[in-house]
């Protein structure tokens, strides 16, 4: 039976999903049947012109009106403000849902989405999986599992860009990224889902404490910022404590900047009592480095290992991984309570900033 995929939203990200779905047929499998709808007729028409093989519908209700098949998948590719409502509608139609990141606008919405998935007996997935399943991250997990780093006692996850604001320098036509009533927040909602996905994949925490957090929106002279002032944070940081499955705990210094006046920096590193490791968690060009630091006869030693990654492409991962999960195959897909847990960490950071009080989020079933 032909795989059927439905996309809600015909914007820029929907085009990436359509291209990824088209590439599925190059593996020898039949190309899935793809349908799409958008509330804006002009966007839908432009999408149809670009992808004439895709079936278009004037609205979500008519698209999802046909009887569901067991493995039908709906991709919610709208701005975050509509994620919860449309995901729940798709679940009620009897279909699995792969939702764009961030998963929702707040924790209450994410909980409602997870509840709707369970009621329907379907999977809820999140597209924060674009950097999941990399060989570099797998190597780090192996080092930790085999005790090669000793007891981990510090983690640094610092990703600073000076001018990379979505809605200003990047994809300036999508001004909604700067409006929290639509986007849910700034760079923490935009890039934070990938950061948290990478951290939780590597360390597999059962609980996360947000001990302290802050955010800022640095001012620049960019003409677009003067035209429509940003209402969201572009620089955010937090002190976290990850509680691990072995009962240990490790502090995590987290920082993400899409705009800052200090220097650019990318540091992803775990330090342990027997060694440290830094790794390329992006592998933009299909290759990445694993940098190990340890000791030989009292002298520091550094080894750099270049790894070729054979996982699906950046934009292919969400749908490829999710279809594997739907089929019951082992997959790095971010689904169900794991998707809700990761998103809950982002919400806890915001709550800590808002209240000035520490926050805790636990993975379901961990205690």
Quote the pTM value.
Answer: 0.97
Q: Check if the beta carbon of residue 73 is closer than 8 Å to that of residue 323.
A: yes
- Which domain CATH number covers 110? 3.40.50.720
Which residue range(s) make up the domain with 236?
136-314+333-362
Task: Tell me, yes or no, whether 149 and 101 share the same domain.
Answer: no
- Which domain CATH number covers 177? 3.30.360.10
Task: Tell me, yes or no, whether 180 and 250 share the same domain.
Answer: yes
Residue 129 located in a structural domain: no
Phi, psi torsion values for 311, nearest 5 degrees: -75, 165
Of 122, 148, 166, the last residue of a domain is 122
From first to last of its 367 residues, what are the pLDDT tens digits of the chain?
899 999 999 999 999 999 999 999 755 578 999 999 999 999 999 999 999 999 999 999 999 999 999 999 999 999 999 999 999 999 999 999 999 999 999 999 999 999 999 999 999 999 999 999 999 999 999 999 999 999 999 999 999 999 999 999 999 999 999 999 999 999 999 999 999 999 999 999 999 999 999 999 999 999 987 777 789 999 999 999 999 999 999 999 999 999 999 999 999 999 999 999 999 999 999 999 999 999 999 999 999 999 999 999 999 999 999 999 999 999 999 999 999 999 999 999 999 999 999 999 999 865 4
Amino acid 26: pLDDT: 58
Task: Tell me, yes or no, whether 104 and 184 share the same domain.
Answer: no
Total number of domains constituting the chain: 2
Residue 323 located in a structural domain: no
Phi, psi torsion values for 308, nearest 5 degrees: -95, 125
Task: Tell me, yes or no, whether 206 and 346 share the same domain.
Answer: yes
Task: Tell me, yes or no, whether 101 and 171 share the same domain.
Answer: no
Amino acid 316: pLDDT: 97
Residue 320 located in a structural domain: no
């Amino acid at each position: 039976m032909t795989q059927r995929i439905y996309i809600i939203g015909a914007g820029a990200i929907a085009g990436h999903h359509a291209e990824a779905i088209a590439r599925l047929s190059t593996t020898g499998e039949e190309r899935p049947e793809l349908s799409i709808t958008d509330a804006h007729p002009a966007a839908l028409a432009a999408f149809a012109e670009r992808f004439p093989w895709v079936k278009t519908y004037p609205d979500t209700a008519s698209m999802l009106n046909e009887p569901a098949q067991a493995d039908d998948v709906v991709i919610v590719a709208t701005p975050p403000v509509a994620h919860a409502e449309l995901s729940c509608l798709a679940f009620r139609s009897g279909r699995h849902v792969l939702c764009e990141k961030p998963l929702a606008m707040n924790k209450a919405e994410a909980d409602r989405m997870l509840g709707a998935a369970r009621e329907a007996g379907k999977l809820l997935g999140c597209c924060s999986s674009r950097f999941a399943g990399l060989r570099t991250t797998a190597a780090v997990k192996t080092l930790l599992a085999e005790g090669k780093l000793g007891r981990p006692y510090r983690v640094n996850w610092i990703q600073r860009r000076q001018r990379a604001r979505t809605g200003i320098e990047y994809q300036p036509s999508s001004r909604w990224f700067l409006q929290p009533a639509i986007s849910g927040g700034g760079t923490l909602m935009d890039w934070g889902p990938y950061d948290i996905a990478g951290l939780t994949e590597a360390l597999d925490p059962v609980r996360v404490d947000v001990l302290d957090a802050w955010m800022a929106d640095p001012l620049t002279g960019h003409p677009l910022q003067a035209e429509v002032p940003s209402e969201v944070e572009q620089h955010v940081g937090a002190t976290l404590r990850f509680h691990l499955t072995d009962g240990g705990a490790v502090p995590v210094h987290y920082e993400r900047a899409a705009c800052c006046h200090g220097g650019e920096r990318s540091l992803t590193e775990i330090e342990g009592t027997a060694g440290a490791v830094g790794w390329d968690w992006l592998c933009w060009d299909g290759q990445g480095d694993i940098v190990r630091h340890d000791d030989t006869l009292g002298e520091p030693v550094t080894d750099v290992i270049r790894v070729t990654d054979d996982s699906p492409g950046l934009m292919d991962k969400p749908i490829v991984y999710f279809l594997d999960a739907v089929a019951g195959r082992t997959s790095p897909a971010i689904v169900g309570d794991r998707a809700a847990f990761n998103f809950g960490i982002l919400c806890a950071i915001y709550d800590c900033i808002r209240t000035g009080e520490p926050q805790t989020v636990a993975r379901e079933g961990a205690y």
